[in-house]
């Protein structure tokens, strides 16, 4: 699916701004052909929850309504008109002038619908009915309690269930014959690269013409062949991105341009060998974070200034990579990561697949029931994998796919659930990117049923926090012991931390190792580094989390999760400086080898 861009042949109209908004009273029916009654004002894109003051509405579970008037300029009448949502969390039903036009399940991937000219008036009424309900069939996975007395979602995960129209809504036009999709495939052979673009076209045309340009727009190749090569490849490197521009032109019999689209893409190789990940033939060390799309007031709303600042903070401290924990991030985020050279582990919303998961992992063994006989998310899981790979297939920044996070990998049925999903991911990816499933401590090297399916063993570990709380000495002993058991069980697989961290209240200080203080956070990481630095097969460290973030209320969460290296509004904690010192001294390539 192409990202909407203005080109010679296409126009994009952004519907961001203020919309009407309504949470119906109990029993109140909304008729999509009538104006919303007494609506509130809501900014789009953003979560709705923290734009309003009524706490009952903030925590409401069910259908909510958005409404926006729009006009289509006459000048665009001769073109195909498409309405596109970057994401709506979690289910959307869309109506234009009272008529249902499309629906979509899944809160983190784009969807679009062509609008028939016959449906349009001036002005038009666009309504979106959004459901924020999560249950045992959805991703993220949750428990829905619904009876005469109550209706609530118990999340099997540790972040606030923000809802609404989270990413841009755009109207765009294309000609009636149009480029539907482009896969910027390539194969590197030494310094030469063979490029094999795959273009899908809808409608009539005479020829597809390709123009490969360098970053400055100089034309390197112009051809109608769908295979051509370039010499002296400039590789896309971590923190030193280089993007080629593939201009695709659709022409008619007279050589006139019908449609045109330019896809930027980086060229890099990936290989796992000798217990390491090689990018462009050099072994790479992951320094960075697990993140969230999360910011005060905006909730999970896309904001390019925040994305830009987060990337700049990462570069300031020598980080080279991050994981889109625990769902696909905005397309604008992925495009900026490509441009800035931030290496990305791209994750589907396969989170919460541990029945009655509690954030205190030491409590999880009390969890009731086998996850895999309760969850019914398998079909949705296949769908989110398809939609993520479809959306992100051309991104050079993506070096691994995470097809889940902390599932109950030790319970009977885990393998039957995940094996087909890993296979599907591998089949869909033209670029053969490695596949991972970050592991939870409850699934030990002896009991876990998933590790042999994945390419890198990714550990989310909290020794010194949930285990060996306030005892870094024992934490080190137990961490070392566990990693060595993983290595003994899977001697050929690289290992990395996809999460490790401790809750830390900014400003809380002590000369002792007291949990929640800034000193304890610094010392926790030092203790962890002492262990992993001795392990040549340990290929990276993703700190949990980049910034503090909002969660549901919980005995262990005071004003959200406080494991950030930065506060929620991006002020550095002491640890940001000590991580900076460490990361600036560790090279992106060649560390430990
Ligand atoms: C892990 C989860 C992550 C949590 C984190 C924590 O993957 O979503 O936020 O632990 O407890 O279980 O902070």
DSSP-assigned letters across all residues of 459-522 = EE--BTTTBSTT-HHHHHHHHHHHHHHHHHHSTTS-EEEEE----B-TT---SS--TBSHHHHH
Residue bearing the CA closest to ligand 1, atom 10: 359
Instruction: Specify the pLDDT at position 361.
Output: 64
Instruction: Specify the pLDDT at position 189.
Output: 94
Q: Which of 139, 167, 195 is where one domain is finished?
A: 167
Residue 274: band (very low, low, confident or very high) from pLDDT cuts 50, 70, 90: very high
Query: In angstroms, what CA-CA distances link 8 with 14, 219, 257, 376, 512?
Result: 18, 18, 9, 46, 64
Instruction: Specify the pLDDT at position 203.
Output: 98
Q: Which of 109, 136, 167 is where one domain is finished?
A: 167
For residue 571, the 8-state DSSP code is P
Q: Which helix (H) or strand (E) holds 161?
A: none
Alpha-carbon gap, residue 116 to 417, rounded angstroms: 40
Same domain for 426 and 379, yes or no, is yes
Give 250's strand partners. 208, 259
> At a CB cut-off of 8 Å and minimum separation 6, what does 333 contact?
293, 302, 307, 324
In a domain, 591, yes or no: no
Alpha-carbon gap, residue 135 to 285, rounded angstroms: 37
61 CA from centroid of ligand 1 (Å): 23
β-pairing, 457-460 vs 219-223, is: unpaired
CA geometry: angle at 56 spanning 54 and 59, to 5°? 110
pTM: 0.98
Residue 227: helix, strand or coil by DSSP? coil
Same domain for 259 and 390, yes or no, is no
568 CA from centroid of ligand 1 (Å): 16
480 CA from centroid of ligand 1 (Å): 21
CA geometry: angle at 246 spanning 242 and 250, to 5°? 170
Same domain for 32 and 92, yes or no, is yes
| Most informative mutation of 359, 402, 463 for ligand 1 (most atoms within 8 A of CB) | 359
Same domain for 252 and 104, yes or no, is no
Alpha-carbon gap, residue 436 to 259, rounded angstroms: 38
**Residue-wise pLDDT tens digits, 511-540:** 999 999 999 999 999 999 999 999 999 999
Domain, as residue range, for 206? 178-183+185-265
- Report which of 34, 2, 36, 228 is spatially closest to residue 110, judged by C-alpha positions: 2
Tell me the backbone φ, ψ of residue 301, rounded to 5 degrees.
Answer: -70, 140
Average pLDDT of every residue of the chain = 96
- How deeply is 61 buried, as exposed, middle or buried, from its count of CB atoms within 10 A (0-12, 13-18, 19+)? middle
Alpha-carbon gap, residue 218 to 211, rounded angstroms: 10
Q: Which of 265, 299, 329 is where one domain is finished?
A: 265
In a domain, 3, yes or no: no
Instruction: Specify the pLDDT at position 212.
Output: 98
Same domain for 199 and 131, yes or no, is no
**Residue-wise pLDDT tens digits, 352-369:** 999 877 666 666 655 567
Residue bearing the CA closest to ligand 1, atom 8: 158
Instruction: Specify the pLDDT at position 367.
Output: 55
| Most informative mutation of 561, 562, 568 for ligand 1 (most atoms within 8 A of CB) | 561
560 CA from centroid of ligand 1 (Å): 12
Residue 390: band (very low, low, confident or very high) from pLDDT cuts 50, 70, 90: very high
Same domain for 284 and 239, yes or no, is no
**Residue-wise pLDDT tens digits, 461-483:** 999 999 999 999 999 999 999 99
The CATH number covering residue 153 comes to: 2.60.120.260
pLDDT average, residue stretch 41-49 = 98
Residue 259 clears pLDDT 60, i.e. is over it:
yes
In a domain, 10, yes or no: no
pLDDT average, residue stretch 175-196 = 96
pLDDT average, residue stretch 411-426 = 97
Same domain for 251 and 363, yes or no, is no
Domain total for the chain?
3
Give 221's strand partners. 212
With left for phi above 0 and alpha for psi between -120 and 50, is residue 68 left, alpha or beta? beta
Instruction: Specify the pLDDT at position 525.
Output: 98
Residue 68 clears pLDDT 90, i.e. is over it:
yes
In a domain, 477, yes or no: yes
Residue 592: band (very low, low, confident or very high) from pLDDT cuts 50, 70, 90: confident
Same domain for 124 and 191, yes or no, is no
Residue 556: helix, strand or coil by DSSP? coil
In a domain, 206, yes or no: yes
Same domain for 204 and 283, yes or no, is no
Among the ranges given (94-103, 167-176, 353-362), the one the predictor scored with the smallest mean pLDDT = 353-362
Alpha-carbon gap, residue 164 to 23, rounded angstroms: 11
**Residue-wise pLDDT tens digits, 289-348:** 999 999 999 999 999 999 999 999 999 999 999 999 999 999 999 999 999 999 999 999
Same domain for 121 and 228, yes or no, is no
Alpha-carbon gap, residue 266 to 114, rounded angstroms: 30
Q: What is the DSSP string of 127-158?
A: EEEEE----TTSSS-EEEEESSS-EEEEESSS
For residue 359, the 8-state DSSP code is S
- The pocket around ligand 1, CB under 6 angstroms, is made up of 158, 326, 359, 405-406, 460, 499, 544, 561, 563
Alpha-carbon gap, residue 310 to 1, rounded angstroms: 26
Q: Which atom of ligand 1 is nearest to the CA of 549?
A: 9
β-pairing, 435-436 vs 398-402, is: parallel
CA geometry: angle at 115 spanning 256 and 36, to 5°? 150
Alpha-carbon gap, residue 390 to 298, rounded angstroms: 27
Percent of the chain with pLDDT over 90: 95
Instruction: Specify the pLDDT at position 362.
Output: 63
Is the bond into 128 cis (omega within 30 degrees of 0)?
no
Residue bearing the CA closest to ligand 1, atom 12: 359
Alpha-carbon gap, residue 349 to 344, rounded angstroms: 15
Q: Which atom of ligand 1 is nearest to the CA of 325?
A: 8
* Residues labelled catalytic: 406, 499
Percent of the chain with pLDDT over 70: 98
Q: Which atom of ligand 1 is nearest to the CA of 359?
A: 11
Q: Which atom of ligand 1 is nearest to the CA of 326?
A: 8
β-pairing, 124-131 vs 63-70, is: antiparallel
In a domain, 433, yes or no: yes
Q: Which atom of ligand 1 is nearest to the CA of 503?
A: 13
Residue 593 clears pLDDT 90, i.e. is over it:
no
The CATH number covering residue 256 comes to: 2.60.40.10
In a domain, 9, yes or no: no
Q: Tokens 């931030």 — which residue?
A: 342
Instruction: Specify the pLDDT at position 364.
Output: 61
158 CA from centroid of ligand 1 (Å): 6
Same domain for 282 and 236, yes or no, is no
The CATH number covering residue 506 comes to: 3.20.20.80
358 CA from centroid of ligand 1 (Å): 9
For residue 68, the 8-state DSSP code is E
In a domain, 2, yes or no: no
- Max intra-chain CA distance, the chain: 79
Same domain for 311 and 199, yes or no, is no
Alpha-carbon gap, residue 275 to 495, rounded angstroms: 8
Residue 278: helix, strand or coil by DSSP? strand
């Amino acid at each position: 699916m192409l990202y909407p861009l203005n080109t010679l042949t296409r126009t994009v109209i952004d519907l961001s701004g203020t919309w009407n908004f309504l949470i119906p009273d109990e029993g109140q029916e909304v008729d999509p052909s009538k104006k919303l009654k007494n609506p509130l004002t809501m900014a789009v894109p953003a979560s709705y929850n923290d734009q309003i003051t009524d706490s009952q509405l903030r925590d409401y579970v069910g259908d909510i309504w958005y409404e926006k008037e729009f006009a289509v300029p006459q000048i665009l009448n001769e073109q195909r008109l498409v309405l596109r949502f970057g994401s709506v969390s979690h289910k959307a039903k869309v109506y234009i002038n009272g008529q249902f036009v499309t629906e979509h399940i899944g809160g983190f991937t784009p969807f679009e619908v062509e609008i028939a000219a016959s449906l349009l008036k001036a002005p038009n009424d666009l309504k979106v009915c959004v459901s924020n309900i999560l249950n045992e069939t959805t991703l993220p996975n949750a428990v829905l309690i619904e009876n005469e007395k109550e209706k609530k979602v118990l999340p099997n995960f540790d972040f606030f269930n923000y809802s609404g129209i989270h990413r841009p809504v755009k109207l765009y036009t294309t000609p009636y014959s149009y480029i539907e999709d482009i896969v910027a495939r390539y194969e590197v052979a030494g310094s030469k690269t063979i490029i094999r673009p795959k273009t899908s076209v809808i409608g009539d045309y005479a020829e597809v013409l390709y123009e490969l340009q360098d970053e400055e727009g100089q034309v390197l190749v112009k051809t109608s062949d769908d295979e051509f090569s370039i010499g002296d490849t400039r590789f896309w490197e971590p923190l030193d991105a280089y993007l080629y521009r593939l201009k695709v032109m659709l022409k008619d019999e007279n050589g006139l341009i019908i449609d045109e689209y330019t896809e930027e893409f980086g060229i890099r190789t990936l290989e796992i060998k000798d217990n390491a990940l090689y990018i462009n033939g050099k072994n790479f060390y992951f320094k960075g974070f697990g993140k969230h799309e999360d910011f005060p007031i905006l909730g999970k709303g896309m904001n390019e200034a925040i994305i830009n600042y987060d990337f700049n903070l990462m570069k300031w401290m020598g980080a080279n990579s991050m994981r889109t924990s625990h769902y696909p991030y905005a397309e604008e985020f992925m495009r900026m990561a490509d441009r800035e050279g931030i290496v990305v582990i791209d994750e589907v919303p396969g989170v919460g697949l541990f029945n009655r998961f509690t954030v205190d992992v030491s409590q999880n063994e009390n969890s009731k029931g086998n996850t895999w006989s309760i969850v019914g998310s398998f079909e949705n899981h296949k769908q989110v994998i398809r939609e993520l790979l479809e959306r992100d297939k051309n991104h050079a920044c993506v070096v691994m796919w995470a097809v889940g996070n902390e599932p109950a990998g030790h319970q009977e049925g885990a393998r039957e659930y995940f094996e087909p999903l890993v296979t599907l991911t591998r089949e869909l990816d033209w670029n053969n990117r490695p596949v991972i499933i970050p592991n939870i401590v409850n699934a030990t090297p002896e009991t876990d049923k998933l590790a042999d399916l994945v390419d890198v063993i990714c550990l989310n570990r909290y020794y010194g926090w949930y285990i060996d709380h306030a005892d870094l000495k024992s934490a080190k002993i137990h961490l070392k012991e566990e990693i060595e058991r993983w290595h003994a069980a899977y001697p050929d697989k690289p290992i990395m931390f996809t999460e490790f961290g401790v809750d830390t209240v900014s400003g809380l200080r002590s000369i002792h190792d007291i949990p929640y203080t800034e000193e304890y956070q610094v010392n926790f990481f030092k203790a962890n580094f002492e262990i992993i630095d001795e392990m040549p097969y340990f290929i990276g460290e993703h700190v949990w989390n980049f910034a503090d973030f909002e969660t549901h209320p919980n005995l262990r969460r005071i004003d959200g999760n406080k494991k950030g290296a930065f506060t929620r509004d991006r002020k550095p904690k002491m640890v940001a400086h000590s991580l900076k010192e460490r990361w600036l001294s560790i090279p992106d390539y060649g560390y430990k080898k």
